[in-house]
C-alpha cells in the first residue's frame, strides 16, 4: 500500500522564480488554512489577481502504477482554481513561457440518469482544456473517503465548449445517476510514481561498473532529482558530488556506498559487487536520480471586483492504484 504526502517547492513567492525543486521540509498538511496559497487581500479581490503555487505528490512508501490528481472541491469563495502538470525543477517563468494544459472542476448543469453518455458541465471563469481521451471524475461525495455517495471515472469521447459550459460525450454510459450540481472533476493523470535512475556513464580507460546487474538502488524517501558525479582520487576511493546539493561524502569500491540525505533517508546505494576493472585517479562516473514524486502546478484566479472572502478554501485529492 503506497503512502502519499504533498510537499511545497523550494521557492514560494509571486515571482518568475517561484517553484523549482521539491522541498521535503515543507509538507502541505491537510486541513490547515492557507497551507498552499496565502489569504486574498481586499485590494487583490478588488483589482483581481492570478497566483501560482507548485506542489509535489510524493509517494513516501511503496509505488503507484496509476495516479490521478483532481480538484475535488471547488472554491467556497468567488475565486476559482486550476491545476496542470509540471516538471521537477520548473519555475513559474518556465511554466508560463509554454502553453500548459489546465484542469479544473465544474458541476452538472442538469440531472443525468445511469447509462447516460452525454453530460453538460458548468465551470467557473471558463472551461478548462478538455480534450477527447481525457478522464473525468463524477462525484457526489463531500469527501473522497465518504462511503455511500456515488462516484465514478469516465472518459471523454468528444467535447464542445462555449464560455463556461462544456457539452461532453462520454465513451460509455454512466454506471450511476447524478443530480444537478454533482461535481465533474477534470482528471490530471500523473501515471506511475516511483524513484528512478538514468544516464549512467563511466569515464575511465580500464575501470568498469555493471549498472545493469547491480543498478543504483533508489528509495521512495531520500532519493531526489539530482545529477551525480563520482570522482576517483585513488584506485579505490572516490568523492560524490551532486549538481545541486554539492559534496555528500566519500566512498570506496570495496564497500556499498549509501550517502545519507540530511532531510531523511538515503540518496541512493551503489553496490560494491558492481565494480570491476582498474580505476585511476581522475576517473569519473556520472548518473542521474529522480525522486518518487510528480510536480503539479495550481493556479488561483481572483476575478476583478470579487467580493471580499472571509474564508475561501478548495480541496484536492489523489487517487492511486
Please check whether residues 3 and 73 belong to one and the same domain.
yes
Cα–Cα distance measured from residue 321 to residue 45, given in angstroms and rounded to the nearest whole number? 40
90 and 112 assigned to the same domain: no
Cα separation, 123 vs 160, whole angstroms: 13
When the pLDDT of each residue in the chain is averaged and rounded to a whole number, the result is 96
pLDDT score for 307: 86
Same domain, 229 and 284: yes
Same domain, 282 and 303: no
Same domain, 267 and 313: no
Final residue of a domain: which of 125, 159, 186? 186
- What mean pLDDT is predicted for residues 259-279? 98
pLDDT for 1:
79
Strands 165-170 and 151-162: antiparallel
The answer to whether residues 92 and 113 belong to one domain is: no
Structure confidence by residue, pLDDT tens digits, 100-137? 999 999 999 999 999 999 999 999 989 999 999 999 99
CA geometry: angle 80, 81, 83, nearest 5 deg: 160
Q: Is the pLDDT at 283 greater than 80, yes or no?
A: yes
182 and 114 share one domain: yes
Q: Is the pLDDT of residue 312 over 90?
A: no
> Domain containing 67: what range?
1-102+188-194+292-321
Q: What is the pLDDT of residue 33?
A: 87
pLDDT at 268 over 80: yes
Q: What is the CATH number of the domain that holds 120?
A: 2.40.30
Place of cell 472572502: 309
Q: What is the pLDDT of residue 182?
A: 98
pLDDT of residue 162: 96
Instruction: Kindly state the average pLDDT of the residues 138-163.
Output: 96
For residue 55, the model assigns a pLDDT of 98
What's this model's pTM, rounded to 2 decimal places?
0.95
Which residue, of 152, 186, 220, is where some domain finishes? 186
How far lies 124's CA from each of 38, 187, 319, in Å? 20, 16, 23
Residues linked to residue 7 through DSSP beta bridges, in sequence order: 27, 56
pLDDT of amino acid 238: 98
| pLDDT band of 81, cuts 50, 70, 90 | very high
Q: Please tell me what DSSP assigns to residue 135.
A: E
Same domain flag for 285 and 314: no
Provide the pLDDT confidence category of residue 262 given band limits of 50, 70 and 90. very high
How many structural domains are present in the chain? 3
Specify whether 312 is located in the same domain as 301.
Answer: yes
pLDDT digits (tens, 9 = 90+) for 180-189: 999 999 999 9
Do 90 and 113 lie in one domain? The reply is: no
Q: Which is nearest to 172 in space by CA: 249, 255, 116? A: 116
User: Is residue 56 pLDDT above 90, yes or no?
Assistant: yes
Gyration radius of the chain's alpha carbons:
24
Predicted local distance difference test score (pLDDT) of residue 57 = 98
Cα–Cα distance measured from residue 320 to residue 66, given in angstroms and rounded to the nearest whole number: 5
CA dist list (Å): 282 to 200, 212, 228, 239: 17, 24, 15, 11
Q: Is 298 exposed, middle or buried (0-12, 13-18, 19+ CB in 10 A)?
A: buried
Q: Which residue has the cell 580500464?
A: 206
In the predicted structure, residue 310 carries a pLDDT above the cut 80: no
Look at residues 151, 186, 221 and tell me which one is the last residue of a structural domain: 186
Cα dihedral sign, 86-229-193-28:
negative
The answer on 6 and 95 residing in a single domain is yes
Amino acid at each position: 500500500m503506497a503512502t502519499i504526502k504533498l510537499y511545497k517547492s523550494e521557492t514560494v513567492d509571486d515571482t518568475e522564480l517561484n517553484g523549482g525543486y521539491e522541498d521535503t521540509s515543507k509538507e502541505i498538511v491537510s486541513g490547515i488554512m492557507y497551507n498552499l496559497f496565502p489569504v486574498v487581500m481586499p485590494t487583490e479581490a478588488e483589482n483581481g489577481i492570478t497566483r501560482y503555487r507548485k506542489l509535489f505528490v510524493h509517494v513516501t512508501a511503496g509505488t503507484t502504477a496509476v495516479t490521478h490528481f483532481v480538484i475535488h472541491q471547488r472554491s467556497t469563495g468567488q475565486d476559482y482554481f486550476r491545476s496542470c502538470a509540471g516538471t521537477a525543477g520548473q519555475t513559474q517563468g518556465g511554466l508560463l513561457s509554454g502553453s500548459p494544459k489546465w484542469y479544473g472542476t465544474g458541476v452538472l448543469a442538469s440531472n443525468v440518469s445511469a447509462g447516460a453518455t452525454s453530460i453538460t458541465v458548468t465551470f467557473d471563469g471558463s472551461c478548462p482544456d478538455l480534450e477527447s481521451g481525457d478522464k473525468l471524475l463524477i462525484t457526489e461525495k463531500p469527501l473522497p473517503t465518504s462511503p455511500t455517495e456515488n462516484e465514478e471515472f469516465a472518459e471523454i469521447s468528444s467535447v464542445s465548449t462555449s464560455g463556461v459550459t462544456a457539452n461532453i460525450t462520454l465513451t460509455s454510459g454512466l454506471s450511476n445517476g447524478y443530480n444537478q450540481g454533482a461535481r465533474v472533476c477534470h482528471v490530471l493523470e500523473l501515471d506511475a510514481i516511483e524513484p528512478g535512475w538514468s544516464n549512467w556513464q563511466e569515464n575511465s580507460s580500464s575501470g568498469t561498473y555493471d549498472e545493469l546487474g547491480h543498478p543504483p538502488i533508489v528509495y521512495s524517501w531520500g532519493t531526489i532529482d539530482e545529477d551525480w558525479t563520482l570522482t576517483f582520487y585513488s584506485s579505490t576511493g572516490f568523492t560524490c558530488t551532486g549538481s545541486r546539493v554539492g559534496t555528500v561524502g566519500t566512498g570506496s569500491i570495496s564497500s556499498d556506498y549509501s550517502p545519507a540525505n540530511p532531510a531523511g533517508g538515503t540518496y541512493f546505494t551503489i553496490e560494491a559487487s558492481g565494480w570491476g576493472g582498474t580505476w585511476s585517479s581522475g576517473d569519473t562516473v556520472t548518473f542521474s536520480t529522480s525522486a518518487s514524486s510528480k510536480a503539479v502546478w495550481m493556479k488561483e484566479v481572483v476575478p476583478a471586483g470579487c467580493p471580499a472572502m472571509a474564508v475561501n478554501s478548495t480541496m484536492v485529492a489523489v487517487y492511486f492504484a
